Amino acid sequence: MGSGSGTGRLDGRVVIISGGARGQGEQAARLFTAEGARVVLGDLLDDEGKRLAEELGPERAVYTHLDVREEADWERMSELAVERFGKVDGLLNNAGILRFSGLTDTSLAEYRQVVDVNQVGCFLGMKTVAPHIEAAGGGTIVNTASYTALAGMAFVASYAATKAAIVGMTRVAAMELAGRGVRVNAMCPGAIDTPMTNPSQVAENGLAVDQGSQAELDALYAKVVPQGRIGRPEEVARLALFLTSDDSSYVTGQPFVVDGGWLAGVSLF
Ligand SMILES: NC(=O)c1ccc[n+]([C@@H]2O[C@H](COP(=O)([O-])OP(=O)(O)OC[C@H]3O[C@@H](n4cnc5c(N)ncnc54)[C@H](O)[C@@H]3O)[C@@H](O)[C@H]2O)c1
């Protein structure tokens, strides 16, 4: 691994990362560039995104404002990738939001907001970037779903619906794009330690329980996750690397769970 060494698993690749300013997107940007890729980061969080791109260096990274709900933003971002790095041959659809509400208490506005960001955003990313990837001679799309796409979780109806939709779209996209040289897979992370899940952010997301302290959350994960802890965003980035690199050259159309065993069964002890 290592940029410039000529031995990275993503040498020569140019990858767009949505929601690349922090959390899992940030860790993917760090790992992908360390593996030789150049990355184009897009987010609503312009200060954080610019700072990260500067840290990674102008030969390796560029940041641009992206609202995944806006088709024009996606087009601008793809053009920037081609202008700056000559092509785009990878997409990590990572941007997403989470809202906690009981099904019958979820307002239509909130439901639509989550659908717009998570589901429409993922669709627009694939629709806009896939032709560029094809033009570059093929490449990869990795969509970020969630374990809530595959198993139920109370209070996340809007979120779970969008994540199941992403898995569905991933399969269709893989079938349509295989002949055009584009592989499409989905990641289904369990609980991962990012701003989305930390206690202050969870409160903003609308979870009505007292999140108390990090210690309480740690105790919860110790009980329900067989591996006994919350996941790290670096661990999701390594799955994204596998699905973006040639290591997964015969893999397409699949959801991949990265959850410390949470979905393996019911935890009683
Ligand atoms: N953290 C977890 O436990 C977990 C579990 C399963 C799936 N996921 C998924 O992983 C992905 C990354 O989440 P994270 O945990 O790193 O959370 P995060 O909140 O740290 O990162 C999400 C990023 O997406 C950006 N974003 C939000 N709305 C956007 C928009 N309209 N346009 C552009 N960017 C936008 C945010 O600004 C943020 O930088 C999300 O799709 C999330 O649903 C997270």
| C-alpha to C-alpha distance for 193 and 195, rounded to whole angstroms | 7
Average pLDDT over residues 3-24: 90
Q: What is the DSSP annotation of 102-168?
A: -GGG--HHHHHHHIIIIIIHHHHHHHHHHHHHHHTT-EEEEEE--GGGTS--TTBHHHHHHHHHHHH
CA distance 124 to 153: 27
Confidence class of residue 2 from pLDDT cuts 50, 70 and 90? very low
Q: Express each pLDDT in 206-221 by its tens digit.
A: 765 454 577 888 888 9
CB 17 within 8 A of CB 39: yes
> 16, 79 in Cβ contact below 8 A?
no
In the structure, what pLDDT confidence band is assigned to residue 122 with cuts at 50, 70 and 90? very high
CA of 196 to the centre of ligand 1 (A): 7
Tell me what pLDDT residue 246 has.
98
Average pLDDT over residues 1-7: 58
CB 205 within 8 A of CB 117: no
- CB contact at 8 A, 135 and 178: no
Distance of CA 20 from the midpoint of ligand 1 (Å)? 9
Encode pLDDT of 227-267 as tens digits. 999 999 999 999 999 999 999 999 999 999 999 999 999 88
Residue nearest to atom 17 of ligand 1 (CA): 196
**Closest residue by CA, ligand 1 atom 25:** 19
Q: Is the pLDDT of residue 202 over 70?
A: no
